[in-house]
């Protein structure tokens, strides 16, 4: 295979290490979420709550996370965000390289404008174009339903502030740190630019486990991947992610 377009020097961590990190983060998140839900629903003690949590995990049940207070829903997202951040840091540091340099955690003054414009244009132009041929089969309201249900939890100024901070700041930073930092760079060291953007975008979309939203998520992944490959920095993709999420939030808060 041609070496053109690959990142040099290649990252010292493997793609399998990055994927294993996601699996570990997902498993830890599921266990913590189910335990917390069991504790909130069962005042009889932590022991019985943990037992119920084990039964739920073993049986594959999935409690409705939207039937919660805004602070509870936000708290349930913290295990994934924290674990992904820790996994990214641990994998990079295990190979004795500087996190900032290895993941492209630098910023130029114009990254803000490039990122924000890219995220907004993705929502305004690219996503509608993708869903246009799917309109006879997919209702636009169904596509917006997960975001709508999240925003419905914010029943006051404090709720709106907490949800907005999580959706617009924390999620974009952590997800870009992992997907376009750890994972994309592991792939980029082993395949060409086009392949790495496409593969990382599909994995990003699939990781959200939202079938109707998959085309939009993959489309954004392509834009963010191009930004990172073109600049070798994460900042443009982080700003684009924040703008992409904020567009939906503003639409739902109107």
What is the model's pLDDT at position 88?
94
Q: How many structural domains is the chain composed of?
A: 1
What is the model's pLDDT at position 150?
73
Asked if residue 6 is part of any domain, the answer here is no
Contacts 24+ apart (CB under 8 A), 51-58: 57/30, 57/31
Are the C-beta atoms of residues 176 and 245 closer than 8 Å to each other?
no
Asked if residue 205 is part of any domain, the answer here is yes
Nearest of 239, 228, 205 to residue 7 by alpha carbon? 228
Task: Name the token pair of 15.
Answer: 């793609």
Q: Is the pLDDT of residue 161 over 90?
A: no
Q: Is the pLDDT of residue 49 over 90?
A: no
Mean pLDDT of 86-109: 89
Asked if residue 7 is part of any domain, the answer here is no
What is the model's pLDDT at position 4?
58
- Each residue of 16-36: b (16+ CB within 10 Å) or e? ebbeebbeebbebbbbbbbbb
Asked if residue 3 is part of any domain, the answer here is no
Q: Cα dist. 87→9, 23, 205 in Å?
A: 22, 10, 20
DSSP conformational letter for 9: S
pLDDT band at 241 (very low <50, low <70, confident <90, very high): very high
Higher pLDDT, 212 or 60: 212
What is the model's pLDDT at position 2?
41
E strand intervals along 137-212: none
Asked if residue 1 is part of any domain, the answer here is no
Mean pLDDT of 202-217: 91
Q: State the Cα–Cα distance between residues 171 and 92, nearest whole angstrom.
A: 20
Q: Is the pLDDT of residue 13 over 80?
A: yes
To the nearest whole percent, how much of the chain has pLDDT over 90?
45
Q: State the Cα–Cα distance between residues 131 and 125, nearest whole angstrom.
A: 10
Mean pLDDT of 5-11: 75
Q: State the Cα–Cα distance between residues 114 and 15, nearest whole angstrom.
A: 28
Asked if residue 9 is part of any domain, the answer here is no
Residue numbers of the domain that contains 135: 15-253
Q: At what angle do helices 193-207 and 214-231 cross, to 10 degrees?
A: 140
The sign of the CA dihedral 247, 251, 252, 254 is positive
Are the C-beta atoms of residues 14 and 187 closer than 8 Å to each other?
no
- Average confidence score pLDDT of the chain: 83
pLDDT band at 200 (very low <50, low <70, confident <90, very high): very high
Nearest of 94, 91, 86 to residue 29 by alpha carbon? 86
Q: State the Cα–Cα distance between residues 112 and 97, nearest whole angstrom.
A: 26
Mean pLDDT of 32-39: 81
* Cβ-proximal residues to 214 (8 Å cutoff; 6+ apart), any chain: 205, 206, 208
Are the C-beta atoms of residues 192 and 5 closer than 8 Å to each other?
yes
The sign of the CA dihedral 133, 136, 138, 142 is positive
Are the C-beta atoms of residues 217 and 241 closer than 8 Å to each other?
no
Asked if residue 8 is part of any domain, the answer here is no
Q: Is the pLDDT of residue 121 over 60?
A: yes
Asked if residue 160 is part of any domain, the answer here is yes
């Amino acid at each position: 295979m041609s070496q053109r377009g690959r990142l040099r020097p290649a990252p010292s961590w493997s793609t399998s290490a990055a994927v294993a990190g996601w699996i570990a983060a997902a498993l830890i998140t599921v266990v913590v979420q189910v335990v917390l839900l069991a504790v909130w629903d069962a005042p009889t003690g932590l022991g019985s709550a943990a037992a119920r949590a084990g039964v739920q995990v073993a049986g594959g049940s999935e409690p409705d996370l939207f039937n919660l207070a805004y602070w509870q829903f936000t708290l349930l997202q913290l295990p994934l965000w924290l674990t992904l951040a820790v996994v990214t840091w641990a994998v990079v540091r295990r190979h004795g390289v500087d996190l900032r340099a290895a993941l492209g955690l630098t910023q130029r003054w114009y990254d803000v404008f490039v990122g924000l414009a890219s995220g907004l244009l993705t929502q305004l132009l690219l996503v509608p174009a993708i869903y246009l041929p799917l309109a006879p089969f997919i209702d636009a309201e169904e596509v917006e339903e997960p975001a709508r249900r999240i925003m419905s939890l914010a029943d006051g100024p404090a709720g709106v502030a907490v949800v907005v901070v999580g959706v617009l700041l924390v999620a974009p930073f952590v997800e870009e740190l992992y997907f376009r930092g750890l994972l994309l760079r592991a792939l980029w060291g082993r395949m060409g630019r086009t392949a790495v953007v496409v593969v990382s975008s599909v994995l990003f979309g699939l990781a959200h486990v939202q079938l109707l939203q998959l085309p939009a998520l993959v489309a954004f992944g392509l834009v963010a991947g191009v930004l990172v490959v073109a600049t070798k920095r994460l900042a443009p993709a982080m700003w684009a992610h924040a703008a992409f999420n904020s567009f939906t939030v503003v639409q739902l808060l109107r």
